[in-house]
Chain A
Amino acid sequence: EPEVTQTPSHQVTQMGQEVILRCVPISNHLYFYWYRQILGQKVEFLVSFYNNEISEKSEIFDDQFSVERPDGSNFTLKIRSTKLEDSAMYFCAGGTGLFNEQFFGPGTRLTVL
């Protein structure tokens, strides 16, 4: 059964550095999402992406975040200048759009020092 994959599983970076988190969605999915989960807190929606552009974004998704799907397979989340509070687990998800059902990847744990 196809699965969403994410790399790396764990990323450690220094405050102020740029990071790129990568995701390979399931091939027949059309909608793609990023979520984050700060340790001990709920999963929070960041952004949805469809037809090569952002569909929806939350208040969390400010100018330091960007997403793209450059080659039709990888779906990336870039954080330009990381802050300590960006430390979290970041989940990629995808879906066909039917009933807004979303399938999640295993996550990337980002640690900002």
Chain B
Amino acid sequence: AQSVTQLGSHVSVSEGALVLLRCNYSSSVPPYLFWYVQYPNQGLQLLLKYTSAATLVKGINGFEAEFKKSETSFHLTKPSAHMSDAAEYFCAVSVGGGGADGLTFGKGTHLIIQP
């Protein structure tokens, strides 16, 4: 069975600083990987996805993530944090690409932006 570990339940950065949110996965087969963002009292919005086409994936709002098979990681980064980035971020994995499988989520990382 697959699993996702997100290191750090809370991450605090200053506005303008680099954002790095860590995600490690466990899967016996090549995975599909996703990052979702959840703003307060809202649903989950897809930030970006890895589907094996390219290891460096660019998403919305200036975020990107790099798939590293050797490290089983899919860390999310953004060069310069903005106050509007404050939210909960979830990494998720799927080992099936056909649509029937549910996503397995990590516990989430709460990103705090200091002015």
Contact = CB atoms under 8 A, between A and B. Distances in A.
A96 B94 CA distance: 15
Contacts of B98: 97, 100
B99 A104 contact: no
A48 B43 contact: no
A25 interface: no
Interface residues of B, number: 26
Given A45-B103, A56-B101, A100 B43 contact: no
A50 B102 contact: no
B104 interface: yes
Interface in A95-109: 95-107
Contacts, number: 78
Nearest to B106: A42
B105 A42 contact: yes
Interface in A71-113: 91, 93, 95-107
B99 A95 contact: yes
Contacts of A98: 97, 99
A104 B101 contact: no
Interface in B17-67: 32, 34, 36, 42-46, 49, 51
A103 B92 CA distance: 13
Contact of A104 (B44, B96, B104): B44
Nearest to A4: B43
B105 A100 contact: no
Contact of A56 (B51, B102, B106): B102
